[in-house]
Protein backbone atom coordinates (compact mmCIF):
# COMPACT_ATOMS: atom_id res chain seq x y z
CA UNK A 1 0.00 0.00 0.00
CA UNK A 2 1.42 3.36 -1.02
CA UNK A 3 2.15 6.18 1.40
CA UNK A 4 -0.65 8.14 -0.26
CA UNK A 5 -3.18 5.50 0.78
CA UNK A 6 -1.91 5.36 4.36
CA UNK A 7 -4.71 4.73 6.87
CA UNK A 8 -4.74 6.78 10.05
CA UNK A 9 -6.59 4.10 12.02
CA UNK A 10 -6.21 5.96 15.32
CA UNK A 11 -8.00 9.01 13.91
CA UNK A 12 -10.83 6.86 12.53
CA UNK A 13 -11.33 5.16 15.90
CA UNK A 14 -11.36 8.54 17.62
CA UNK A 15 -13.96 9.92 15.19
CA UNK A 16 -16.14 6.85 15.64
CA UNK A 17 -15.98 7.00 19.45
CA UNK A 18 -15.26 3.27 19.53
CA UNK A 19 -13.55 1.33 22.29
CA UNK A 20 -11.39 -1.35 20.62
CA UNK A 21 -8.61 -3.70 21.64
CA UNK A 22 -5.20 -3.77 19.97
CA UNK A 23 -6.11 -6.93 18.03
CA UNK A 24 -9.38 -5.39 16.84
CA UNK A 25 -7.47 -2.29 15.76
CA UNK A 26 -5.13 -4.38 13.60
CA UNK A 27 -8.08 -6.29 12.15
CA UNK A 28 -9.84 -3.04 11.17
CA UNK A 29 -6.65 -1.75 9.60
CA UNK A 30 -6.22 -4.89 7.50
CA UNK A 31 -9.86 -4.82 6.35
CA UNK A 32 -9.61 -1.16 5.31
CA UNK A 33 -6.40 -1.84 3.42
CA UNK A 34 -8.11 -4.66 1.52
CA UNK A 35 -11.05 -2.39 0.70
CA UNK A 36 -8.74 0.32 -0.65
CA UNK A 37 -7.00 -2.23 -2.84
CA UNK A 38 -10.34 -3.28 -4.32
CA UNK A 39 -11.16 0.40 -4.92
CA UNK A 40 -7.83 0.85 -6.72
CA UNK A 41 -8.54 -2.09 -9.05
CA UNK A 42 -12.08 -0.93 -9.82
CA UNK A 43 -10.86 2.61 -10.46
CA UNK A 44 -8.50 1.26 -13.13
CA UNK A 45 -11.23 -0.56 -15.04
CA UNK A 46 -11.98 0.67 -18.61
CA UNK A 47 -14.60 3.42 -18.76
CA UNK A 48 -15.36 3.59 -22.51
CA UNK A 49 -17.75 0.63 -22.75
CA UNK A 50 -21.42 1.60 -23.44
CA UNK A 51 -24.21 0.35 -21.16
CA UNK A 52 -25.66 -3.04 -22.13
CA UNK A 53 -29.30 -1.97 -21.96
CA UNK A 54 -31.78 0.51 -20.55
CA UNK A 55 -34.63 -0.59 -18.27
CA UNK A 56 -37.13 1.92 -19.65
CA UNK A 57 -37.30 3.64 -23.04
CA UNK A 58 -38.82 7.08 -22.56
CA UNK A 59 -38.24 10.68 -23.46
CA UNK A 60 -35.60 12.37 -21.37
CA UNK A 61 -36.91 15.04 -19.01
CA UNK A 62 -34.96 18.31 -19.19
CA UNK A 63 -35.32 21.55 -17.26
CA UNK A 64 -34.25 25.10 -17.90
CA UNK A 65 -31.17 26.38 -16.12
CA UNK A 66 -33.11 28.59 -13.70
CA UNK A 67 -32.44 28.97 -9.98
CA UNK A 68 -35.56 28.65 -7.82
CA UNK A 69 -35.26 29.12 -4.06
CA UNK A 70 -36.97 26.41 -1.96
CA UNK A 71 -39.73 27.94 0.18
CA UNK A 72 -39.88 24.82 2.37
CA UNK A 73 -36.21 24.88 3.41
CA UNK A 74 -37.12 25.28 7.09
CA UNK A 75 -39.50 22.32 6.87
CA UNK A 76 -36.73 20.14 5.46
CA UNK A 77 -34.64 20.82 8.54
CA UNK A 78 -37.47 20.30 11.03
CA UNK A 79 -36.67 16.62 11.42
CA UNK A 80 -32.88 17.05 11.54
CA UNK A 81 -31.09 16.12 14.79
CA UNK A 82 -30.85 18.87 17.38
CA UNK A 83 -27.40 20.39 17.83
CA UNK A 84 -25.85 20.68 21.27
CA UNK A 85 -22.30 21.96 21.19
CA UNK A 86 -20.54 19.83 18.59
CA UNK A 87 -22.82 16.83 19.12
CA UNK A 88 -25.99 15.92 17.26
CA UNK A 89 -28.89 14.70 19.37
CA UNK A 90 -31.92 12.73 18.24
CA UNK A 91 -35.13 14.76 18.71
CA UNK A 92 -36.39 12.85 21.79
CA UNK A 93 -33.11 13.54 23.61
CA UNK A 94 -33.71 17.23 23.02
CA UNK A 95 -37.07 16.91 24.79
CA UNK A 96 -39.28 17.27 21.71
CA UNK A 97 -42.58 16.33 23.36
CA UNK A 98 -44.46 18.97 21.39
CA UNK A 99 -44.55 22.55 20.16
CA UNK A 100 -44.11 25.52 22.49
CA UNK A 101 -47.85 26.28 22.22
CA UNK A 102 -48.69 22.69 23.12
CA UNK A 103 -46.41 22.68 26.17
CA UNK A 104 -47.87 25.91 27.52
CA UNK A 105 -51.52 24.91 27.00
CA UNK A 106 -53.57 23.79 30.04
CA UNK A 107 -54.19 20.08 30.46
CA UNK A 108 -57.48 18.70 29.18
CA UNK A 109 -60.27 17.48 31.39
CA UNK A 110 -60.65 13.78 32.05
CA UNK A 111 -62.11 11.77 29.18
CA UNK A 112 -62.42 12.74 25.54
CA UNK A 113 -65.29 15.18 25.86
CA UNK A 114 -67.40 15.43 22.73
CA UNK A 115 -64.79 13.72 20.56
CA UNK A 116 -64.86 10.27 19.02
CA UNK A 117 -61.67 8.21 19.09
CA UNK A 118 -60.66 6.49 15.84
CA UNK A 119 -57.83 3.95 15.94
CA UNK A 120 -56.24 1.76 13.29
CA UNK A 121 -53.41 -0.69 13.91
CA UNK A 122 -50.51 -1.89 11.78
CA UNK A 123 -49.13 -5.14 13.19
CA UNK A 124 -45.92 -6.86 12.09
CA UNK A 125 -45.73 -10.57 12.88
CA UNK A 126 -42.50 -12.53 12.38
CA UNK A 127 -43.19 -15.86 10.69
CA UNK A 128 -41.89 -19.09 12.25
CA UNK A 129 -39.91 -20.23 9.22
CA UNK A 130 -36.51 -21.91 9.52
CA UNK A 131 -34.89 -19.61 6.95
CA UNK A 132 -35.29 -16.00 5.84
CA UNK A 133 -37.74 -14.68 3.26
CA UNK A 134 -35.35 -14.36 0.32
CA UNK A 135 -32.27 -16.38 1.32
CA UNK A 136 -31.31 -19.56 3.20
CA UNK A 137 -29.83 -17.86 6.28
CA UNK A 138 -31.27 -19.23 9.54
CA UNK A 139 -33.91 -17.34 11.49
CA UNK A 140 -33.30 -17.21 15.23
CA UNK A 141 -32.97 -14.96 18.25
CA UNK A 142 -29.78 -14.43 20.22
CA UNK A 143 -27.14 -15.31 17.59
CA UNK A 144 -23.83 -13.49 17.44
CA UNK A 145 -24.26 -10.13 15.63
CA UNK A 146 -24.17 -10.49 11.84
CA UNK A 147 -23.54 -14.25 12.06
CA UNK A 148 -26.76 -15.16 10.22
CA UNK A 149 -26.15 -13.13 7.08
CA UNK A 150 -25.19 -13.65 3.44
CA UNK A 151 -24.79 -11.51 0.29
CA UNK A 152 -28.57 -11.58 -0.34
CA UNK A 153 -29.80 -10.32 3.04
CA UNK A 154 -26.99 -7.75 3.31
CA UNK A 155 -27.74 -6.31 -0.11
CA UNK A 156 -24.49 -7.14 -1.93
CA UNK A 157 -24.38 -6.16 -5.62
CA UNK A 158 -25.53 -8.95 -7.93
CA UNK A 159 -27.13 -11.09 -5.20
CA UNK A 160 -30.65 -12.18 -6.19
CA UNK A 161 -33.57 -12.90 -3.83
CA UNK A 162 -35.46 -16.23 -3.99
CA UNK A 163 -38.85 -16.38 -2.24
CA UNK A 164 -39.42 -18.82 0.66
CA UNK A 165 -42.43 -21.04 -0.19
CA UNK A 166 -43.24 -21.87 3.46
CA UNK A 167 -43.48 -18.17 4.31
CA UNK A 168 -46.10 -17.79 1.56
CA UNK A 169 -48.06 -20.75 2.97
CA UNK A 170 -48.03 -19.13 6.42
CA UNK A 171 -49.28 -15.83 4.98
CA UNK A 172 -52.12 -17.70 3.24
CA UNK A 173 -53.02 -19.42 6.54
CA UNK A 174 -53.16 -16.03 8.28
CA UNK A 175 -55.46 -14.70 5.56
CA UNK A 176 -57.77 -17.71 5.71
CA UNK A 177 -57.98 -17.54 9.52
CA UNK A 178 -58.95 -13.85 9.31
CA UNK A 179 -61.53 -14.24 6.53
CA UNK A 180 -59.42 -12.48 3.90
CA UNK A 181 -59.61 -12.82 0.16
CA UNK A 182 -56.48 -14.67 -0.97
CA UNK A 183 -55.29 -12.96 -4.12
CA UNK A 184 -54.16 -15.37 -6.81
CA UNK A 185 -51.61 -12.81 -8.00
CA UNK A 186 -49.54 -10.55 -5.77
CA UNK A 187 -46.49 -8.42 -6.46
CA UNK A 188 -43.40 -7.64 -4.39
CA UNK A 189 -42.32 -3.99 -4.50
CA UNK A 190 -39.35 -1.97 -3.37
CA UNK A 191 -40.10 0.46 -0.54
CA UNK A 192 -37.33 3.01 -0.77
CA UNK A 193 -35.94 4.81 2.26
CA UNK A 194 -32.56 5.34 3.84
CA UNK A 195 -31.73 4.12 7.32
CA UNK A 196 -28.58 2.45 8.69
CA UNK A 197 -30.34 -0.86 9.40
CA UNK A 198 -31.51 -1.22 5.78
CA UNK A 199 -28.49 -2.42 3.77
CA UNK A 200 -30.12 -2.18 0.32
CA UNK A 201 -31.64 1.27 1.06
CA UNK A 202 -34.98 -0.32 0.17
CA UNK A 203 -37.24 -2.92 1.77
CA UNK A 204 -38.90 -5.66 -0.27
CA UNK A 205 -42.58 -5.46 0.60
CA UNK A 206 -45.98 -5.58 -1.11
CA UNK A 207 -47.94 -2.47 -1.96
CA UNK A 208 -50.62 -2.26 -4.64
CA UNK A 209 -51.14 -6.02 -4.96
CA UNK A 210 -50.86 -7.75 -1.55
CA UNK A 211 -51.35 -11.47 -0.99
CA UNK A 212 -54.48 -10.94 1.19
CA UNK A 213 -57.21 -8.30 0.96
CA UNK A 214 -60.09 -7.45 3.27
CA UNK A 215 -60.98 -9.77 6.12
CA UNK A 216 -61.88 -9.23 9.76
CA UNK A 217 -61.05 -10.31 13.31
CA UNK A 218 -63.85 -10.95 15.81
CA UNK A 219 -63.11 -9.35 19.19
CA UNK A 220 -65.07 -9.89 22.40
CA UNK A 221 -65.08 -6.73 24.48
CA UNK A 222 -67.54 -5.39 27.00
CA UNK A 223 -69.74 -8.45 26.70
CA UNK A 224 -70.28 -8.08 22.95
CA UNK A 225 -68.52 -9.40 19.87
CA UNK A 226 -67.32 -6.85 17.34
CA UNK A 227 -65.74 -7.51 13.95
CA UNK A 228 -62.68 -5.34 13.34
CA UNK A 229 -62.26 -5.05 9.57
CA UNK A 230 -58.88 -5.59 7.96
CA UNK A 231 -57.62 -3.62 5.00
CA UNK A 232 -54.95 -6.13 3.99
CA UNK A 233 -52.29 -8.63 5.00
CA UNK A 234 -49.08 -8.41 3.03
CA UNK A 235 -45.64 -10.00 3.15
CA UNK A 236 -42.37 -8.18 3.59
CA UNK A 237 -38.83 -8.60 4.84
CA UNK A 238 -37.64 -7.22 8.15
CA UNK A 239 -34.84 -4.67 8.50
CA UNK A 240 -31.75 -5.07 10.67
CA UNK A 241 -31.39 -3.90 14.25
CA UNK A 242 -29.53 -0.92 15.67
CA UNK A 243 -27.59 -1.69 18.84
CA UNK A 244 -26.93 1.47 20.84
CA UNK A 245 -23.64 1.94 22.67
CA UNK A 246 -23.51 3.57 26.09
CA UNK A 247 -27.25 3.45 26.82
CA UNK A 248 -30.06 0.89 26.67
CA UNK A 249 -31.75 2.83 23.85
CA UNK A 250 -31.03 5.61 21.41
CA UNK A 251 -31.60 8.17 24.17
CA UNK A 252 -28.19 9.07 25.61
CA UNK A 253 -26.19 6.61 23.49
CA UNK A 254 -22.83 7.75 22.14
CA UNK A 255 -22.81 5.49 19.08
CA UNK A 256 -24.88 2.85 17.32
CA UNK A 257 -23.85 -0.46 15.74
CA UNK A 258 -25.90 -2.46 13.24
CA UNK A 259 -26.78 -6.15 13.53
CA UNK A 260 -28.11 -7.50 10.21
CA UNK A 261 -29.18 -10.91 11.57
CA UNK A 262 -32.83 -9.82 11.42
CA UNK A 263 -32.46 -8.42 7.91
CA UNK A 264 -34.81 -10.29 5.50
CA UNK A 265 -36.55 -12.23 8.27
CA UNK A 266 -40.08 -12.93 6.92
CA UNK A 267 -42.97 -10.81 8.22
CA UNK A 268 -46.64 -10.40 7.55
CA UNK A 269 -48.09 -6.95 8.14
CA UNK A 270 -51.73 -6.94 9.24
CA UNK A 271 -53.40 -3.57 8.63
CA UNK A 272 -56.80 -2.82 10.15
CA UNK A 273 -59.40 -0.36 9.00
CA UNK A 274 -60.00 2.56 11.44
CA UNK A 275 -62.63 0.52 13.30
CA UNK A 276 -61.18 0.51 16.82
CA UNK A 277 -62.92 2.89 19.22
CA UNK A 278 -60.82 2.79 22.41
CA UNK A 279 -57.40 1.83 23.81
CA UNK A 280 -58.99 -1.12 25.65
CA UNK A 281 -60.50 -2.35 22.38
CA UNK A 282 -57.10 -1.98 20.69
CA UNK A 283 -55.51 -4.10 23.40
CA UNK A 284 -58.23 -6.74 23.06
CA UNK A 285 -57.68 -6.83 19.28
CA UNK A 286 -53.98 -7.50 19.88
CA UNK A 287 -54.81 -10.23 22.42
CA UNK A 288 -57.07 -11.94 19.87
CA UNK A 289 -54.67 -11.45 16.95
CA UNK A 290 -51.78 -12.88 18.95
CA UNK A 291 -53.91 -15.88 19.95
CA UNK A 292 -54.82 -16.51 16.30
CA UNK A 293 -51.22 -16.31 15.07
CA UNK A 294 -49.92 -18.55 17.87
CA UNK A 295 -52.76 -21.04 17.32
CA UNK A 296 -51.81 -21.24 13.65
CA UNK A 297 -48.21 -21.94 14.64
CA UNK A 298 -46.93 -19.24 12.29
CA UNK A 299 -45.71 -16.73 14.94
CA UNK A 300 -44.63 -17.17 18.55
CA UNK A 301 -46.17 -13.83 19.54
CA UNK A 302 -43.18 -12.73 21.65
CA UNK A 303 -43.47 -8.93 21.82
CA UNK A 304 -40.38 -8.46 24.01
CA UNK A 305 -38.16 -10.04 21.34
CA UNK A 306 -39.86 -8.00 18.63
CA UNK A 307 -41.53 -11.01 16.96
CA UNK A 308 -44.89 -9.24 17.23
CA UNK A 309 -44.83 -5.45 16.86
CA UNK A 310 -47.64 -2.94 16.71
CA UNK A 311 -47.90 0.64 15.44
CA UNK A 312 -51.08 2.59 16.13
CA UNK A 313 -52.71 5.38 14.14
CA UNK A 314 -55.02 7.49 16.28
CA UNK A 315 -57.17 10.55 15.58
CA UNK A 316 -60.13 12.41 17.07
CA UNK A 317 -63.22 13.77 15.36
CA UNK A 318 -66.34 15.56 16.48
CA UNK A 319 -69.19 13.27 17.50
CA UNK A 320 -71.38 12.63 14.49
CA UNK A 321 -68.64 13.43 11.93
CA UNK A 322 -67.79 10.79 9.34
CA UNK A 323 -64.56 12.33 8.05
CA UNK A 324 -61.36 11.17 9.71
CA UNK A 325 -59.28 13.63 11.71
CA UNK A 326 -55.53 14.23 11.39
CA UNK A 327 -53.86 10.99 12.44
CA UNK A 328 -50.81 10.50 14.62
CA UNK A 329 -48.78 7.30 14.45
CA UNK A 330 -47.31 5.82 17.65
CA UNK A 331 -44.33 3.45 17.56
CA UNK A 332 -42.13 1.60 20.07
CA UNK A 333 -44.89 -0.22 21.97
CA UNK A 334 -43.55 -3.63 22.99
CA UNK A 335 -46.29 -4.96 25.27
CA UNK A 336 -50.07 -5.10 25.52
CA UNK A 337 -50.01 -2.70 28.46
CA UNK A 338 -47.80 -0.28 26.52
CA UNK A 339 -50.28 -0.22 23.62
CA UNK A 340 -53.14 0.74 25.92
CA UNK A 341 -51.14 3.29 27.93
CA UNK A 342 -49.63 4.94 24.84
CA UNK A 343 -53.05 5.36 23.25
CA UNK A 344 -54.51 6.71 26.51
CA UNK A 345 -51.71 9.28 26.69
CA UNK A 346 -52.01 10.29 23.04
CA UNK A 347 -55.80 10.63 23.19
CA UNK A 348 -55.45 12.93 26.21
CA UNK A 349 -52.82 14.99 24.33
CA UNK A 350 -54.95 15.28 21.19
CA UNK A 351 -58.01 16.20 23.29
CA UNK A 352 -56.02 18.99 24.93
CA UNK A 353 -54.92 20.22 21.49
CA UNK A 354 -58.49 20.32 20.22
CA UNK A 355 -59.87 21.96 23.36
CA UNK A 356 -57.25 24.70 23.03
CA UNK A 357 -57.71 25.08 19.25
CA UNK A 358 -54.10 24.09 18.59
CA UNK A 359 -53.20 22.66 15.16
CA UNK A 360 -52.59 18.91 15.06
CA UNK A 361 -50.00 17.80 12.55
CA UNK A 362 -49.66 14.38 10.99
CA UNK A 363 -46.57 12.90 12.60
CA UNK A 364 -44.91 9.80 13.98
CA UNK A 365 -44.31 9.71 17.73
CA UNK A 366 -42.35 7.32 19.94
CA UNK A 367 -43.71 5.89 23.17
CA UNK A 368 -41.30 6.22 26.10
CA UNK A 369 -42.18 3.51 28.61
CA UNK A 370 -40.08 4.98 31.40
CA UNK A 371 -41.59 8.47 31.08
CA UNK A 372 -45.07 7.23 30.14
CA UNK A 373 -45.37 9.80 27.35
CA UNK A 374 -44.87 10.13 23.60
CA UNK A 375 -42.14 12.10 21.84
CA UNK A 376 -42.24 13.59 18.38
CA UNK A 377 -40.08 11.57 16.01
CA UNK A 378 -40.77 12.92 12.50
CA UNK A 379 -43.53 14.15 10.24
CA UNK A 380 -45.64 11.26 8.98
CA UNK A 381 -44.75 9.90 5.55
CA UNK A 382 -47.27 9.16 2.83
CA UNK A 383 -46.99 6.12 0.58
CA UNK A 384 -45.67 8.18 -2.32
CA UNK A 385 -42.71 9.25 -0.18
CA UNK A 386 -41.38 5.69 -0.42
CA UNK A 387 -41.38 5.63 -4.25
CA UNK A 388 -42.79 2.10 -4.47
CA UNK A 389 -42.18 0.19 -7.70
CA UNK A 390 -42.31 -3.55 -8.54
CA UNK A 391 -39.11 -5.35 -7.64
CA UNK A 392 -37.43 -6.25 -10.97
CA UNK A 393 -35.69 -9.26 -9.37
CA UNK A 394 -38.94 -10.99 -8.34
CA UNK A 395 -41.70 -12.24 -10.62
CA UNK A 396 -45.34 -11.80 -9.57
CA UNK A 397 -46.39 -14.41 -7.01
CA UNK A 398 -49.07 -16.73 -8.42
CA UNK A 399 -51.11 -18.76 -5.90
CA UNK A 400 -53.40 -21.51 -7.23
CA UNK A 401 -56.47 -23.08 -5.61
CA UNK A 402 -54.57 -26.22 -4.65
CA UNK A 403 -52.05 -24.21 -2.62
CA UNK A 404 -54.86 -22.38 -0.82
CA UNK A 405 -56.78 -25.58 -0.02
CA UNK A 406 -53.60 -27.23 1.25
CA UNK A 407 -53.10 -24.29 3.65
CA UNK A 408 -56.76 -24.46 4.69
CA UNK A 409 -56.31 -28.07 5.83
CA UNK A 410 -53.73 -26.91 8.40
CA UNK A 411 -56.07 -24.48 10.18
CA UNK A 412 -56.78 -25.31 13.85
CA UNK A 413 -59.87 -24.16 15.82
CA UNK A 414 -59.89 -20.41 16.23
CA UNK A 415 -59.37 -19.01 19.77
CA UNK A 416 -62.74 -17.27 20.18
CA UNK A 417 -64.60 -20.35 18.91
CA UNK A 418 -62.65 -22.45 21.41
CA UNK A 419 -63.50 -20.09 24.28
CA UNK A 420 -67.23 -20.19 23.53
CA UNK A 421 -67.14 -24.00 23.21
CA UNK A 422 -65.30 -24.46 26.53
CA UNK A 423 -67.88 -22.34 28.33
CA UNK A 424 -70.75 -24.22 26.69
CA UNK A 425 -69.47 -27.82 26.79
CA UNK A 426 -67.40 -27.84 30.00
CA UNK A 427 -69.22 -25.15 32.04
CA UNK A 428 -65.95 -23.28 32.51
CA UNK A 429 -66.12 -19.75 33.88
CA UNK A 430 -65.39 -16.85 31.53
CA UNK A 431 -61.92 -16.23 33.06
CA UNK A 432 -61.05 -19.94 32.75
CA UNK A 433 -62.16 -20.16 29.13
CA UNK A 434 -60.37 -16.89 28.33
CA UNK A 435 -57.11 -18.25 29.77
CA UNK A 436 -57.34 -21.12 27.29
CA UNK A 437 -58.24 -18.69 24.49
CA UNK A 438 -55.23 -16.41 24.92
CA UNK A 439 -52.82 -19.31 25.58
CA UNK A 440 -53.29 -21.82 22.73
CA UNK A 441 -50.54 -24.07 24.15
CA UNK A 442 -52.62 -24.56 27.32
CA UNK A 443 -55.65 -25.50 25.24
CA UNK A 444 -53.66 -27.93 23.08
CA UNK A 445 -52.28 -29.69 26.18
CA UNK A 446 -55.75 -29.74 27.75
CA UNK A 447 -57.41 -31.30 24.70
CA UNK A 448 -54.69 -33.91 24.17
CA UNK A 449 -54.94 -34.91 27.83
CA UNK A 450 -58.75 -34.89 27.71
CA UNK A 451 -58.63 -37.42 24.86
CA UNK A 452 -57.16 -39.89 27.41
CA UNK A 453 -58.80 -38.67 30.63
CA UNK A 454 -62.50 -37.90 30.40
CA UNK A 455 -62.97 -35.49 33.30
CA UNK A 456 -62.59 -31.90 32.08
CA UNK A 457 -63.34 -30.27 35.46
CA UNK A 458 -60.73 -32.24 37.41
CA UNK A 459 -58.21 -31.83 34.58
CA UNK A 460 -58.75 -28.04 34.50
CA UNK A 461 -58.40 -27.82 38.30
CA UNK A 462 -55.04 -29.61 38.25
CA UNK A 463 -53.88 -27.59 35.26
CA UNK A 464 -54.77 -24.19 36.73
CA UNK A 465 -53.96 -24.86 40.41
CA UNK A 466 -50.91 -27.11 40.20
CA UNK A 467 -49.37 -27.44 36.75
CA UNK A 468 -49.21 -23.69 36.08
CA UNK A 469 -47.49 -23.12 39.44
CA UNK A 470 -44.50 -25.08 38.11
CA UNK A 471 -44.46 -24.24 34.38
CA UNK A 472 -46.20 -21.80 32.01
CA UNK A 473 -44.28 -22.67 28.83
CA UNK A 474 -46.35 -25.66 27.78
CA UNK A 475 -44.71 -25.87 24.36
CA UNK A 476 -41.36 -26.77 25.96
CA UNK A 477 -42.69 -28.60 29.04
CA UNK A 478 -41.16 -32.06 29.53
CA UNK A 479 -44.43 -33.64 30.73
CA UNK A 480 -46.57 -35.21 28.02
CA UNK A 481 -50.40 -35.27 27.91
CA UNK A 482 -50.24 -39.08 28.03
CA UNK A 483 -48.19 -39.03 31.24
CA UNK A 484 -50.43 -36.41 32.86
CA UNK A 485 -53.59 -38.37 31.97
CA UNK A 486 -52.18 -41.60 33.48
CA UNK A 487 -51.15 -39.63 36.60
CA UNK A 488 -54.67 -38.24 37.12
CA UNK A 489 -56.20 -41.70 36.64
CA UNK A 490 -54.02 -43.04 39.48
CA UNK A 491 -55.33 -40.28 41.76
CA UNK A 492 -58.96 -41.00 40.80
CA UNK A 493 -58.51 -44.75 41.41
CA UNK A 494 -57.01 -44.15 44.85
CA UNK A 495 -53.65 -45.59 43.88
CA UNK A 496 -52.04 -42.34 45.00
CA UNK A 497 -53.51 -39.54 47.10
CA UNK A 498 -54.00 -35.98 45.88
CA UNK A 499 -51.49 -34.78 48.48
CA UNK A 500 -48.91 -37.30 47.31
CA UNK A 501 -49.72 -36.35 43.72
CA UNK A 502 -48.79 -32.72 44.38
CA UNK A 503 -45.46 -33.83 45.83
CA UNK A 504 -44.81 -36.10 42.83
CA UNK A 505 -45.59 -33.19 40.50
CA UNK A 506 -43.12 -30.96 42.34
CA UNK A 507 -40.37 -33.61 42.11
CA UNK A 508 -41.13 -34.26 38.44
CA UNK A 509 -40.34 -30.65 37.57
CA UNK A 510 -37.33 -30.48 39.91
CA UNK A 511 -35.74 -33.54 38.32
CA UNK A 512 -37.26 -33.29 34.82
CA UNK A 513 -38.73 -36.78 35.21
CA UNK A 514 -42.07 -38.31 34.26
CA UNK A 515 -44.91 -38.55 36.76
CA UNK A 516 -45.62 -42.25 36.27
CA UNK A 517 -41.88 -42.89 36.16
CA UNK A 518 -41.48 -41.48 39.70
CA UNK A 519 -44.46 -43.46 41.01
CA UNK A 520 -43.11 -46.74 39.62
CA UNK A 521 -39.45 -46.16 40.51
CA UNK A 522 -40.18 -45.26 44.14
CA UNK A 523 -43.09 -47.63 44.67
CA UNK A 524 -45.39 -44.79 45.66
CA UNK A 525 -48.59 -46.75 45.29
CA UNK A 526 -51.03 -45.61 47.97
CA UNK A 527 -51.43 -47.92 50.97
CA UNK A 528 -55.08 -48.92 51.43
CA UNK A 529 -54.45 -52.01 53.56
CA UNK A 530 -56.50 -51.33 56.70
CA UNK A 531 -54.34 -53.47 58.93
CA UNK A 532 -51.14 -51.63 58.01
CA UNK A 533 -52.82 -48.28 58.52
CA UNK A 534 -54.20 -49.35 61.94
CA UNK A 535 -50.67 -50.21 63.06
CA UNK A 536 -49.43 -46.75 62.05
CA UNK A 537 -52.40 -45.06 63.78
CA UNK A 538 -51.88 -47.02 67.01
CA UNK A 539 -48.20 -46.07 67.04
CA UNK A 540 -48.96 -42.36 66.57
CA UNK A 541 -51.68 -42.36 69.31
CA UNK A 542 -49.39 -44.14 71.80
CA UNK A 543 -46.65 -41.56 71.12
CA UNK A 544 -49.00 -38.60 71.64
CA UNK A 545 -51.33 -39.29 74.63
CA UNK A 546 -51.87 -35.59 75.41
CA UNK A 547 -53.24 -34.83 71.93
CA UNK A 548 -55.42 -37.97 72.14
CA UNK A 549 -56.87 -36.72 75.42
CA UNK A 550 -57.57 -33.30 73.88
CA UNK A 551 -59.56 -34.93 71.07
CA UNK A 552 -61.57 -37.04 73.51
CA UNK A 553 -62.31 -33.91 75.55
CA UNK A 554 -63.97 -32.25 72.55
CA UNK A 555 -61.05 -30.55 70.76
CA UNK A 556 -61.85 -32.30 67.47
CA UNK A 557 -59.66 -30.01 65.35
CA UNK A 558 -56.65 -31.98 66.55
CA UNK A 559 -57.76 -34.78 64.22
CA UNK A 560 -56.11 -33.00 61.31
CA UNK A 561 -52.82 -32.96 63.21
CA UNK A 562 -53.11 -36.74 63.77
CA UNK A 563 -53.78 -37.29 60.06
CA UNK A 564 -50.59 -35.38 59.24
CA UNK A 565 -48.54 -37.45 61.70
CA UNK A 566 -49.85 -40.72 60.28
CA UNK A 567 -49.08 -39.54 56.72
CA UNK A 568 -45.53 -38.71 57.85
CA UNK A 569 -45.18 -42.13 59.42
CA UNK A 570 -46.30 -43.82 56.18
CA UNK A 571 -44.21 -41.43 54.02
CA UNK A 572 -47.37 -40.08 52.44
CA UNK A 573 -48.43 -43.48 51.08
CA UNK A 574 -51.46 -44.14 53.33
CA UNK A 575 -54.93 -43.46 51.96
CA UNK A 576 -56.15 -40.29 53.70
CA UNK A 577 -59.72 -41.58 53.58
CA UNK A 578 -58.82 -44.77 55.44
CA UNK A 579 -56.54 -42.86 57.86
CA UNK A 580 -59.44 -40.57 58.85
CA UNK A 581 -61.78 -43.52 59.38
CA UNK A 582 -59.31 -45.44 61.54
CA UNK A 583 -58.35 -42.40 63.61
CA UNK A 584 -61.97 -41.59 64.46
CA UNK A 585 -62.53 -45.17 65.59
CA UNK A 586 -59.34 -45.37 67.66
CA UNK A 587 -59.78 -41.97 69.32
CA UNK A 588 -63.32 -42.64 70.61
For the chain, the structural domain boundaries read 3-39, 100-382, 413-521, 530-586
- With a CB cutoff of 8 Å and minimum separation 6, the contacts of 474 are 439, 441, 442, 444, 445
Give residue 151's pLDDT. 92
Average pLDDT of the residues in 372-392: 84
In this prediction the pTM is 0.75
Whether the Cβ atoms of residue 289 and residue 217 lie closer than 8 Å to each other: yes
Confidence band (pLDDT; 50, 70, 90) for 13?
Answer: confident
Confidence band (pLDDT; 50, 70, 90) for 96?
Answer: low
- With a CB cutoff of 8 Å and minimum separation 6, the contacts of 373 are 97, 345, 367
Which helix H or strand E contains 344, and what residues bound it?
Answer: helix 336-355
Whether the Cβ atoms of residue 140 and residue 128 lie closer than 8 Å to each other: no
Of the candidate ranges 32-36, 173-177, 434-438, 464-468, the one whose mean pLDDT is the lowest: 32-36
Give residue 499's pLDDT. 84
Average pLDDT of the residues in 299-317: 92
Give residue 95's pLDDT. 46
Confidence band (pLDDT; 50, 70, 90) for 1?
Answer: very low
Average pLDDT, the chain: 85
Give residue 287's pLDDT. 95
Whether 583 shows a pLDDT value over 70: the answer reads: yes
Of the candidate ranges 21-35, 280-294, 401-415, 476-490, the one whose mean pLDDT is the lowest: 21-35
Confidence band (pLDDT; 50, 70, 90) for 344?
Answer: very high
DSSP E strand boundaries for 63-182: 82-84, 87-89, 115-126, 181-182
Whether 100 shows a pLDDT value over 70: the answer reads: no
Higher-scoring residue by pLDDT: 500, 185: 185
Domain 530-586 top-level CATH class: mainly alpha
Of the candidate ranges 134-143, 290-299, 336-345, 385-394, the one whose mean pLDDT is the lowest: 134-143
Confidence band (pLDDT; 50, 70, 90) for 384?
Answer: confident
Average pLDDT of the residues in 500-524: 90
The two beta strands, 224-237 and 266-272, are antiparallel
Average pLDDT of the residues in 275-302: 95
Give residue 189's pLDDT. 96
Give residue 175's pLDDT. 98
* DSSP annotation of 465: I
Give residue 221's pLDDT. 83
Inter-helix orientation angle 530-543/558-569, to 10°: 120
Amino acid sequence: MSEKAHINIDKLIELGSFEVTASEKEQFKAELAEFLEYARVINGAPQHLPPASHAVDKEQLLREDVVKPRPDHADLLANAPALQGTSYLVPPLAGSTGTAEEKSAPASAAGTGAYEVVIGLEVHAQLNTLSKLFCSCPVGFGSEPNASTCPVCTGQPGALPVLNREAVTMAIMAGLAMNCNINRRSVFARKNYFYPDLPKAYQISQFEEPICSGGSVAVEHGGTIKNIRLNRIHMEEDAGKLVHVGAPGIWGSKASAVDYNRSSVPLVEIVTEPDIASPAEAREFMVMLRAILVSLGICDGNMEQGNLRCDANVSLRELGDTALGVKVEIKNMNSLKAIERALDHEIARLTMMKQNNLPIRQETRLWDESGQKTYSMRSKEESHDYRYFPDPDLLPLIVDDGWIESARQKLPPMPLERKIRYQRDFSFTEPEARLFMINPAYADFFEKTLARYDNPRTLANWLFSELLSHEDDFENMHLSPEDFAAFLKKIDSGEISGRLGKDILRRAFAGKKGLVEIIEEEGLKQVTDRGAIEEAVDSVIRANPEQAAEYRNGKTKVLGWFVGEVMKATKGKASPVVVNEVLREKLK
